[in-house]
């Protein structure tokens, strides 16, 4: 059943890519990025009588994140895509599917960019407990066009997930 679903998803993505590239107003694009998350703060604090083992993300540091995002470029300035992230945090790891929207301010060699990401994070801590929550991220940075179809970028922003805020610093390649 999973293989059949994967084949159908792959065929839909393939035909969408072919259709989008044939009309030249919408182009298929992908991004690969690596980021580091620095722990910010716990957004809501609860008073507990005894230590709790249910806290997933504490002030022990940050973590790393790897993102792969597939999407389309509309009118040379707007990128919209669906991505999958692998999160490796201080005491938890997991995946986070997301919707990604990125806006380039202009098409010069070096241009500012703004990014908004919304999704769901599924984490598992060191003791085997699982937890999921909605997350959001807002980034801004600089995009450098190497050639028309290839660019690299660096972004900094804030990510909120699992009742915790992070400062995210990431770099990536769009092709």
The full set of domain ranges for the chain reads 27-174
Query: Do the bridges between strand 130-147 and strand 110-125 make them parallel or antiparallel, or are there none, so unpaired?
Result: antiparallel
Domain 27-174 fold is Porin (2.40.160)
> Could you say which DSSP state residue 109 is in?
S
Largest CA distance in the chain: 63
C-alpha to C-alpha distance for 87 and 84, rounded to whole angstroms:
10
Tokens for 111, please give them: 């241009």
Q: Going residue by residue through the chain, which has 175 residues, state the pLDDT in tens, using 9 for 90 and above.
A: 556 666 676 666 666 666 555 555 678 899 999 999 988 877 766 665 555 555 556 656 788 999 999 999 888 889 999 999 999 887 788 999 999 999 998 888 999 999 999 999 888 877 777 888 889 999 999 999 998 889 999 999 999 887 788 899 999 999 8
pLDDT at residue number 95: 93
Query: Do the bridges between strand 164-174 and strand 63-74 make them parallel or antiparallel, or are there none, so unpaired?
Result: unpaired
> Could you say which DSSP state residue 1 is in?
-
Q: Supply the pTM of this predicted model.
A: 0.76
């Amino acid at each position: 059943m999973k293989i059949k679903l994967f084949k159908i998803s792959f065929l839909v993505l393939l035909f969408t890519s072919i259709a989008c590239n044939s009309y030249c107003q919408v182009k298929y694009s992908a991004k690969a990025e690596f980021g580091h998350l620095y722990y910010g703060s716990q957004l809501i604090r609860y008073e507990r009588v005894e230590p709790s083992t249910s806290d997933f993300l504490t002030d022990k540091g940050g973590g790393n994140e790897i993102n792969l995002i597939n999407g389309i470029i509309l009118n040379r300035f707007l990128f919209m895509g669906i991505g999958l992230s692998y999160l490796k945090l201080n005491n938890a790891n997991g995946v986070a599917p997301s919707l990604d929207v990125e806006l380039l301010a202009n098409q010069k060699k070096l241009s500012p960019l703004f990014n908004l990401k919304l999704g769901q994070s599924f984490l598992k801590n060191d003791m085997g407990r699982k937890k999921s929550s909605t997350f959001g991220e807002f980034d801004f940075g600089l995009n450098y066009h190497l050639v028309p179809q290839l660019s690299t970028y660096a972004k900094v922003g804030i990510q909120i997930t699992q009742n915790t805020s992070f400062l995210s610093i990431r770099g990536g390649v769009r092709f």
